Amino acid sequence: MMMARIRADPNAKHYNQGLIDSFFGDAERKIRQSGIKSGRIVNDTLKDLMSSFKGTVMSLDQGFASSDAVLAAAIWRNLLPEDDMVLQIDSIARFVRSQLAALDKCPVDDLIARNFAFQPVHP
């Protein structure tokens, strides 16, 4: 959601690259902390993660720009850990839309300065 919001800014490429670098730096640290020492295994795992990340971002972006049904399908395919959560997909899609609306109202400078918090989930 943050990457989709930042894309409207002239410095979007720089900001989004920072988000990606942070995400993958954190992922690499966690892989190494789990006891994996082989650089080849770490790199292969990060390549797989990158492939999955790109697919998820593309799918969610399509959902953000499309109907709630398309967004719900993207969330279900990419983010829901359990099939029984599909019963809550309408609520989840509405929540995501509300967070996107909140992000749209927040100036990019505030986002970059981390002066933004997602709204709490209300059951």
pLDDT per residue rounded down to tens, the chain (123 residues): 999 998 888 889 999 999 999 999 999 999 999 999 899 999 999 999 999 999 999 999 999 999 999 999 999 988 887 777 777 888 889 999 999 999 999 999 998 888 999 988 776
The pLDDT of residue 85: 72
Residues 6+ apart with CB under 8 A from 94: 68
The pLDDT of residue 123: 62
The pLDDT of residue 79: 86
